[in-house]
Amino acid sequence: MKPSDKYFEEALKLIPWGTQTNAKRPFPQFDETMPKFIVRGKGCRIWDMEGKEYIDYRLALGPVTLGYCYEEVDQAVREQMKNGVLFSMASPIELELARLLHETVPNADMIRFMKTGEDANLSNIRIARAYTKREMILMSGYHGYPDWFATEDSPNNGVPEFMKDYVKVIPWGNLEEAERLIRLYHERLACVISIPYDMGEDIHGTFIKHLRTLTKEYGILLVIDEVWTGFRLALGGAQELFGVDADLASYAKAMANGYPISTYLGKREYMQSLDHFKMTTTYAGETLSIAAAIATLKIMKREKVHDHINAMGRRLMAGFNTIAKELGVEGYAAGLPPSAYLKFSTPDAAYNARMEYLWFRELFREGVFVMLRWFISYSHTEKDIDESIEKAKRALRRALDAEPGERNTVKPFYW
């Protein structure tokens, strides 16, 4: 038994799942190839408990934009630590970060901070309901664990069933259903909340643009959940990339290179609703994460971080296409460069899913840490990309050479 296996057994006795985050649960389908714990990271590399090194394309589920232990960000945190973490009144650096966001993010007339993406999304829902005096919302995509975003599994997940009367779900990308639900419920709707991009093949923002058109037509607020897309797809997020304007928006993961902070922001007339009700939390003004966010945004502006991320993503995508051609695989590079993937495209969907599973299993064995989408950081270099392509080619060849029985066994690995 490896040290990490024993450690995981002990963790399960005290920690449900053995981890704090659903997506960080070890996938049993990957046998012993997927590490159960990560001990440290530097740049675009991480190391597990056994000391094995991986080129990381998961980036802590998205927050690590610049790279692990990025010195300028960490130094900003150390400097702020000398002054303190939390005070009895606001810190002046709150305004400094607010000004940076106002200059960077479209429609950021007013800004407040929280700690997680779901915090920010929930805050925007509260503002929309307070402003409109309506109670129903439409949602599309994943927005976190709060009750308002988890009605589909009610009541098994502890969410009251009555909330299904106040939340309706639009399957992401379904233009017809979006139009039907908005036309049916528009007089009751406080807002529509949606992710702008699902890391799939709608790379031009067709769906979110359609939602913006419909919500404007009916006078409904549009909340864009940029928790994943913000500061990753572009400096100004999907709003900038797709040219779509939100009434309210939520940002989190990529804004502080891994330090815990989020922001909910938007147009002044809606944000000023906060003058009339209380929505607050003690740690929203925690200064270390604010210092990290200030440093991260300044680096992004100064260094043209997103030009580099997109260039490395395009290099990776070219490698995927080359690998597929050389190995005779029916597949192609898909998605946007910051989160590309190799799409297996045979007519047999079950076969495609099995090949994806086998490929990822072998990628872990090669020392490439990736799950579904290949997230790129500023620390990924051409050398890292080229090494990853070589490892990916070897992994795919082994996946193709798997025994027929294994290739015909369905092993889904999505939680």
Residues 180 and 311 in one domain: no
Structural domain range at position 273: 71-302
Per the listing, tokens 């740690």 go with 283
Phi/psi-derived region of residue 223, left when phi > 0, alpha when psi is between -120 and 50, beta in every other case: beta
Residue 401 belongs to some domain of the structure? yes
> Residue 241: what pLDDT?
97
CA distances from 247 to 168, 169, 270 (A): 20, 20, 8
Q: Write the DSSP assignment of 224-265 as a string of letters.
A: EEETTTBTTTBTTHHHHHHT---SEEEE-GGGGTTSS-EEEE
Sign of the dihedral defined by the CA atoms of residues 127, 131, 134, 139, in that order = negative
Phi/psi-derived region of residue 348, left when phi > 0, alpha when psi is between -120 and 50, beta in every other case: beta
> Residue 409: what pLDDT?
58
Residues 326 and 256 in one domain: no
Residues 287 and 338 in one domain: no
Q: Which of 273, 302, 331 finishes a domain? A: 302
The two structure tokens encoding residue 155: 């009541």
CB distance 239 to 196 below 8 Å = yes
Q: Which of 302, 321, 356 finishes a domain? A: 302
Residues 165 and 243 in one domain: yes
Q: Which of 302, 337, 369 finishes a domain? A: 302
> Residue 86: what pLDDT?
97
Return the ∠ at Cα 32 (arms to 373 and 54), rounded to 5°. 50
Residues 32 and 16 in one domain: yes
Residues 77 and 40 in one domain: no
> Residue 31: what pLDDT?
74
Sign of the dihedral defined by the CA atoms of residues 389, 394, 396, 397, in that order = positive
Residues 103 and 250 in one domain: yes
Residue 101 belongs to some domain of the structure? yes
Q: State the pairing for strand pair 189-194/136-140.
A: parallel
Per the listing, tokens 């330090």 go with 259
pTM of the model: 0.94
Residues 132 and 266 in one domain: yes
User: Residue 381: which CATH number?
Assistant: 3.90.1150.10
Beta bridge partners of 74: none
List pLDDT tens digits, range 52-61.
999 999 999 9
Q: How far is C-alpha 263 from the chain's CA centre?
A: 14
Residues 32 and 172 in one domain: no
Residue 345 makes CB contacts below 8 A (sequence gap 6+) with 330, 331, 332, 352
Mean pLDDT of the chain: 95
Helix (H), strand (E) counts: the chain: 13, 14
Residues 136 and 15 in one domain: no
Beta bridge partners of 221: 191
CB distance 181 to 214 below 8 Å = no
Residue 152 belongs to some domain of the structure? yes
- How many domains is the chain built from? 2
**CA torsion angle 212 216 222 228 (round to 10):** 20
List pLDDT tens digits, range 178-232.
999 999 999 999 999 999 999 999 999 999 999 999 999 999 999 999 999 999 9
pLDDT of the chain along its 415 residues, tens only?
899 999 999 999 999 999 999 889 988 888 789 999 999 999 999 999 999 999 999 999 999 999 999 999 999 999 999 999 999 999 999 999 999 999 999 999 999 999 999 999 999 999 999 999 999 999 999 999 999 999 999 999 999 999 999 999 999 999 999 999 999 999 999 999 999 999 999 999 999 999 999 999 999 999 999 999 999 999 999 999 999 999 999 999 999 999 999 999 999 999 999 999 999 999 999 999 999 999 999 999 999 999 999 999 999 999 999 999 999 999 999 999 999 999 999 999 999 999 999 999 999 999 999 999 999 999 999 999 999 999 999 999 999 998 666 655 555 554 3
Residue 413 belongs to some domain of the structure? no
Residue 414 belongs to some domain of the structure? no
Residues 55 and 137 in one domain: no
User: Residue 134: which CATH number?
Assistant: 3.40.640.10
The dihedrals phi and psi of 228, each to the nearest 5 degrees, come to -90, -40
Helices (H), 248-348: 268-271, 287-303, 305-327
Residue 175 belongs to some domain of the structure? yes
> Residue 408: what pLDDT?
58
Residues 117 and 156 in one domain: yes
Q: Which helix (H) or strand (E) holds 191?
A: strand 189-194
